[in-house]
Structure 1
Amino acid sequence: MANPAGTTTQPAAEIPADDLTRELTLANPEDPKSRHISVAGGTYTILVTGKETGGRYSLIDMLVPPGGGPPPHRHDFEEMFTILDGEIELTFRGSTYLAGAGSTVNIPANAPHAFRNVSDKPARMLCMCTPAGQEEFFMAVGDPVGSRTAPPPKLSDAERAERMQRAKSLSASYRTQLLA
């Protein structure tokens, strides 16, 4: 049977057998074993990695302080944010949008974008990347911190410059292009 016009449902196929090598993932951002990384002025907690999803996606809990957020960038994977608390200003292809608690935003692959917390309170959002890999980039360029709410480490100007240079030098390996 053909798919109705305009749908994205895949054609019918036999569902493969259960892959018993894959395990259930139960993630809690407050779990002491969670990995918390300071990136772009915020604290990112890696909830679900590509290793746990067969590379299909990753899920990151982002705590973005006032003024926090990454510089303009783009990457060849989809990125979706659900704002849990606060408000985020998004720049997408040069236009600016506000997304508040309860909003979900999907950034298409390859599109230039950035986000910033322009409020005076922390914002919290979930970030899903598909396929996975962005979580590995964050772990490679960020600084480990002790908890989901831990402040970023106090870095000297030289240390901040080194982190930015590290991000620039590694970004292509993680299918990302920094635009600023």
Structure 2
Amino acid sequence: MIDGDDVGKRFAVVEHPMQPRALAAPMHRHHREDEYSFVLEGRIGAMLGDTVVIGNPGNLIFKPREQWHTFWNAGDTPARVLEIISPAGFEHYFRELGAELSNGPPDPQRLAALCARYALDMDMSSVPGLIQRFGVRFPGGPSPAPQ
């Protein structure tokens, strides 16, 4: 929605539409940017270190750099989040990841190189536990366990 190049690289704004019970990402952490998730629609769950929070429309969830985190649609209806990223630059990761995913599951080596370019640590091994604990699905992964 707002590219960092348009605002002196101070911040960027990205909209994330999310399907019901969708896990946005494995546990991960950023080394260069802070993220602020403003919930527009639906219920968003977030794990911030060991703390779990639920955001409803109008809530802001702060995900500081260097903190392991993830987020998901915690409801049975679509959700939308405005992601404010500061400083800008990480919005390009989403474009590159989308291109990588357009051909099916990502190549692990290319995904690792993408994460390295954006100073992003990704814990893929966290996905099964997140699916089990929060009843979510991950693109290309198994469906959520019944609640």
TM above 0.5, yes or no, is: yes
C-alpha change, 1:99 and 1:134, in structure 2 (3 Å) is same
The one of 92, 96, 105 equivalent to 2:61 is 105
The one of 35, 57, 63 equivalent to 2:17 is 63
Return the alpha-carbon distance in structure 2 between the equivalents of residues 166 and 92 of structure 1. Answer: 27
Q: Is residue 121 of structure 2 the alignment partner of residue 177 of structure 1?
A: yes
Q: Is residue 82 of structure 2 the alignment partner of residue 138 of structure 1?
A: no
| Runs of 5+ consecutive residues of structure 2 not aligned to the other structure | 125-147
Return the alpha-carbon distance in structure 2 between the equivalents of residues 166 and 103 of structure 1. Answer: 35
Aligned length: 122
Return the alpha-carbon distance in structure 2 between the equivalents of residues 170 and 161 of structure 1. Answer: 11
Q: Is residue 65 of structure 2 the alignment partner of residue 121 of structure 1?
A: no
| Runs of 5+ consecutive residues of structure 1 not aligned to the other structure | 1-46, 145-151
Larger RCO (CA within 8 A; separation ≥ 6): 2
Higher radius of gyration, 1 or 2: 1
Tell me the secondary structure at the aligned position of residue 46 of structure 2: strand
Return the alpha-carbon distance in structure 2 between the equivalents of residues 72 and 54 of structure 1. Answer: 29
Taking structure 2 as the reference length, what is the TM-score of the superposition?
A: 0.76
C-alpha change, 1:165 and 1:102, in structure 2 (3 Å) is farther
Return the alpha-carbon distance in structure 1 between the equivalents of residues 26 and 88 of structure 2. Answer: 21
Cα RMSD between the aligned structures? 1.9
Tell me what 2:2 maps to: 48
